[in-house]
A and B are shown apart, each in its own frame.
Chain A
Amino acid sequence: MAGPSSESLLHRLTAGDRRALGEVYDRYAALVNGLALRILRNRSEAEDVVQEVFVQVWKQAARFDPARGSPAAWICTIARTRALDRLRHSTSRREEASDAAPEASEAPRTEEVLAVRKALEALSAEQRNALELAYYEGLTQTEIAARLGEPLGTIKTRIRTALIRLRDLLRPVTP
């Protein structure tokens, strides 16, 4: 990717560099918004989350530890946490998946994204499905089991196996 590394951009945030925040926003706002939309299925709530996420990134940039993962993953974690939080606490109208994202853009074909896609494809459809319910809807194991009509023990094992498989397939992103 041309331009400064995302790690160095985050580092500049700790020095109060607002232009760096603009660049971080340009790189990740669409991803954060897409993720928030998938979780919240409500455009204005998703945009509220986008704003909250980048303000949090600004305030907590010093906490980002490159040894612990990539900037994109860190930002996604913040985004998912805030979006699920909002999902649990608000009663706004949720749109149908197709209505919520008409202007979807092409996902960046970075190595990181491709690696995760490939790893997910290595899972069974059932494993992927269980992970998606967990990741995008914030359901507990019990709720997932109820939703799928499966025994709780089966779901527990399925989720655990899926995540361990992903961990084994994806090399940690350490410098």
Chain B
Amino acid sequence: MTDQRLRELLPGHALGVLDADDRAYVEAGLEREPEARQELAALEEIVGRLGLVATPVPPSPGLKEEVLREVGSAAATAPAGAGRAWTWLAAAAALLFAVGLLVVRAQRDQARGEAAAALLRAETAEARTREALAELETTRVLLAREQALRGLVGRPDTRLVSLGGLPAAPRARARVVFDPTTREAFLLASGLDRAPHGKAYEVWVIAAGAPVPAGLFQVDAEGRAVFRLSDVAEMAGVRTFAVTLEPAAGVPAPTGPMVLAGAVS
């Protein structure tokens, strides 16, 4: 990070002690510099831990009941996490059967908006140009992926397989959208814990013989992933899809716990 002033203000910002003009400077800088955002996150984590040394004082006994009651009345609208995961999966299902590809279009529009913003930033300093070009490339990759998924959905030969979570990941759910002829395949997963450091989720295609590896993926902070499987010959005769937790570099045959599996009907 070249902006020394920004770097020096980050600790104060994490602690919340900056005066208004310094705070504004940092907020503007955070927009420009992903490195600054990372450094700030690390400092905020430290600040978060400072509270741990406060002397605990038990609150009034009735308070717990009040909290649970207040939350109980809010339970009709399930907490954001659960609601969003299932709504998202339902939207993914709608992707396959419905005419309107609203989810894909919204993502595409968002990707376009991000592309437009990236172009704007590219017109300023050279370092920022390089950064903006890297983001554009990611956006292009995302756009291409969305278009491929949309194309896949539109074809009559496309198959859908539902995968259920196994005891190692009881809340996990996934669907595989694939075309056995072109061997294009996408996995849409939710409800997975983030893989521990040094590990990743590996997808397996099982036809008549041993499981064949079809790629590695990670989930986002909300436990979701949209992943394009590798092109494997076995896709043409696939009978089962499975996902296991493996070392991050992947393995040629499954060794780790299985988290998802589903059979082609």
Measuring CB to CB, which residues of chain A are less than 8 angstroms from any residue of chain B?
A: 11, 13-16, 18, 21-22, 25-26, 29-31, 33-35, 37-38, 46-47, 50-51, 54-55, 58-63, 65-70, 72-74, 76-77, 79-80, 84, 101, 103-108, 112-113, 116-117, 120, 131, 134-135, 138-142, 144, 156, 159-160, 163-164, 166-167, 170, 172-175
Contact = CB atoms under 8 A, between A and B. Distances in A.
Given A77-B47, A107-B55, 19 more contacts: A34-B54, A34-B56, A34-B57, A55-B70, A55-B74, A58-B74, A60-B79, A61-B81, A62-B79, A62-B80, A105-B57, A112-B52, A116-B50, A134-B16, A135-B51, A141-B12, A141-B18, A163-B11, A173-B49
B58 A73 contact: no
Nearest to A39: B54
Contacts, number: 199
Interface in B24-76: 41-60, 63-64, 66-68, 70-72, 74-75
Contact of A68 (B8, B45, B58): B45
A138 B59 contact: no
B62 to A, nearest CB: 10
**Complex A-B, nearest 6 residue pairs according to Cβ-Cβ distance, in ascending order:** A62-B81, A14-B81, A76-B51, A73-B48, A30-B56, A163-B11
B46 A167 contact: yes
A76 B50 contact: yes
Given A15-B171, A134-B16, A141-B17, A101 B55 contact: yes
Interface residues of B, number: 53
Contact of B53 (A77, A113, A139): A113
A21 B68 CA distance: 8
A74 B48 contact: yes
B58 A80 contact: no
B63 A29 contact: yes
A29 B59 contact: yes
Q: Taking chain B's interface residues, is the majority helix, strand, or loop, or is none over half, making it mixed?
A: helix
B103 interface: no
Given A50-B59, A77-B48, A172 B42 contact: yes
Nearest to B222: A62
Interface of B: 8, 11-12, 14-19, 41-60, 63-64, 66-68, 70-72, 74-75, 78-82, 84-85, 171, 193-194, 196-197, 221-222
A101 B59 CA distance: 10
A35 B78 CA distance: 29
